[in-house]
């Protein structure tokens, strides 16, 4: 892991008003989120934060199972419980026509309240294979839905709910959507209309939409066989029409002006040295939204949790361990 970069501490006037927070929170109805709970075998002794859990958030077409391994490791090493959640319209969580960061953040906020979680840390990362970088004029994005953006949105709208934030290879900026995702939706819809009964049949259809085996396997991880005694037809867990309609707006970050809202608690931004998704030019903006942030570079690409899990583990453990 590369040496920890010096944290930037940029000062800006805090002008967040209650009306802004209320507007962001009350705009959408929330849904109850499915989750896996990973508890430490031996709770940490002498750690004042041992009772503060971690809430782990996935990205587009992901689910709680993507973060299973690293969640167990962090629970073990930090002595904290880790809640790996399914965001709305993903995994085992309910479907809802509203699919944006504000709605997702509200869901997670309610999840924290309903489970009576005290001072949790949010970890958000896009669990998607990186795409070829677009024009350098436009900030690249590996996925229009990113757990990190949902986590950042919640930290800015409801800072009293959480103790800290960890954003994995992501920044609080607007980013251009790639056309690949609309193509994936078309391919997945063709799979459903073909009423496939085997994943091999689905993969054969998807090959004309995506040549990468890795990406196809990730997308097809959403296939399941609904409980129906008379049918073997497989369907996708994600509501394709809802996700498809949301793509045009999922590259945006809800907040544009860091003078209006800031998260003044500890934040860690972890980026891959081989990834282009958190370029140096956005670091000052990160500092304006998150004045107490730290930046750690990990020798990896965008999928750094799976590419270099040990470096990611060390960065998180160091960040969340008690400071002397």
Would you name the residues annotated as active-site residues? 126, 302
- Using CA atoms, how far apart are residues 187 and 205, in angstroms rounded to an integer? 7
Q: How many residues does the chain have?
A: 324
HEC letters along 48-75: CCCCCCEEEECCCCCCHHHHHHHHHHHH
SS3 324: coil
Q: Which of 321, 314, 310, 305 minimizes the C-alpha distance to 56?
A: 305
Contact (Cβ atoms closer than 8 angstroms) between residue 298 and residue 272: yes
- Using CA atoms, how far apart are residues 302 and 323, in angstroms rounded to an integer? 28
- Using CA atoms, how far apart are residues 34 and 111, in angstroms rounded to an integer? 9
Within 79-198, residue ranges assigned H as helices are 101-114, 147-157, 180-193
How far from chain centre, in Å, is Cα 17?
26
């Amino acid at each position: 892991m590369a040496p920890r970069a010096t944290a930037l501490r940029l000062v800006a006037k805090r002008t967040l008003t209650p009306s802004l927070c209320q507007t962001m929170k009350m705009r959408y109805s929330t849904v109850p989120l499915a989750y896996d709970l990973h508890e430490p075998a031996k709770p940490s002794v002498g750690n004042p934060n041992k009772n503060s859990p971690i809430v782990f958030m996935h990205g587009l077409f992901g689910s709680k199972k993507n973060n299973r391994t690293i969640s167990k490791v962090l629970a073990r090493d930090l002595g904290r419980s880790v809640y790996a959640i399914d965001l709305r319209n993903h995994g085992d969580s309910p479907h809802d026509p509203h699919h944006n960061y504000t709605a997702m953040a509200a869901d997670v906020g309610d999840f924290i309240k309903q489970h009576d979680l005290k001072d949790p840390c949010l970890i958000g990362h896009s669990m998607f294979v990186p795409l070829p970088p677009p024009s350098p004029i436009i900030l690249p994005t590996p996925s229009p839905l990113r757990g990190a953006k949902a986590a950042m949105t919640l930290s800015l709208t409801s800072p009293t709910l959480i103790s800290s934030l960890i954003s994995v290879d992501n920044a609080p900026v607007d980013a251009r959507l790639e056309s690949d995702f609309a193509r994936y939706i078309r391919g997945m819809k063709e799979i459903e209309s073909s009423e496939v009964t085997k994943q091999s049949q689905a993969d054969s259809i998807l090959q004309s939409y995506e040549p990468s085996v890795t990406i196809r396997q990730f997308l097809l991880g959403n296939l399941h066989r609904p409980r129906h005694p008379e049918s073997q037809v497989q369907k996708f867990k994600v509501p394709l029409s809802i996700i498809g309609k949301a793509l045009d707006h999922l590259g945006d970050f809800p907040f544009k002006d860091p003078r209006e809202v800031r998260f003044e608690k500890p934040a860690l931004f972890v980026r891959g040295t081989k990834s282009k998704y958190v370029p140096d030019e956005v670091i000052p903006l990160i500092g304006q939204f998150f004045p107490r942030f730290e930046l750690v570079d990990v020798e990896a690409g965008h999928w750094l949790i799976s590419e270099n899990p040990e470096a990611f583990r060390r960065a998180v453990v160091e960040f969340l361990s008690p400071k002397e």
